[in-house]
Amino acid sequence: MTDTPIRQHRLSLARLRELPLWSVVAAGTLAGGLLGGAYGLLTPATYTATSYVIAVPAGKASPDAALGFAQAYGRVATQLAVLGDAQVYAGVPVRILQRSVRTATSPDAPMVAVSATSSQPGLAVDMANAVTRSLTRHADDTRGNTHVRLVQFSRAVEPSEPTSTSTAVTGLVGASAGGLLGGLALLARPRRNGQEEEPAPAPSVPSPAAAADVRGQR
């Protein structure tokens, strides 16, 4: 009775070895596609809204100075001093703004792009506009020293489509990764006994008669 589980285990291994090699790649592709599709379905969609402000020279400031201050304001926009005021306008805590708001600047134009990401399109719009409003207000407070002011170039609008990866894309990525892992598993599999190289033949040794003949010739 104790031999039955062992025998069944051996039969299962024998059946697995009889499967074609391409079945490993197919199984990996199918499993990866299912996992990638499930990830896309379970992950909530995210929306991104972007607002823009532009630095304008005032008084004796030059366009190059406005460009330099735009780069500085792009780094300051995500700091606590700006986000602390923006949380009042957006109606969310500072930690959510720190996690959801990103800024970008251009080396050629004195413009700052403020982007906010959220699972709610309306909240993404409110956060982006709140940060630009707070940033503009801080720039106005220091305009007497910098001679540069920030002007709102474009308000954020509610996005119509999510910016997160779709379920179809995550499924394709998972299927590709699963197929690749299946192919690597085939390359790393141990060789079968029938596929092992045959041992090299042993060197032949002359028989005693042949050796005697050689001595007789001498």
Q: DSSP code of 189?
A: S
Retrieve residue 29's tokens: 């592709």
Residues forming beta bridges with residue 111, ordered by sequence position: 54
CA of residue 157 relative to chain centroid, distance? 27
Retrieve residue 4's tokens: 């039955």
Least reliable range by pLDDT among 91-95, 98-102, 110-114, 208-212: 208-212
**Segment 99-133, tens digit of pLDDT:** 999 999 988 889 999 999 998 999 999 999 999 99
The answer to whether the CB of 136 falls within 8 A of the CB of 77 is no
Q: Which of 46, 49, 63, 58 is nearest to 154 (CA)?
A: 49
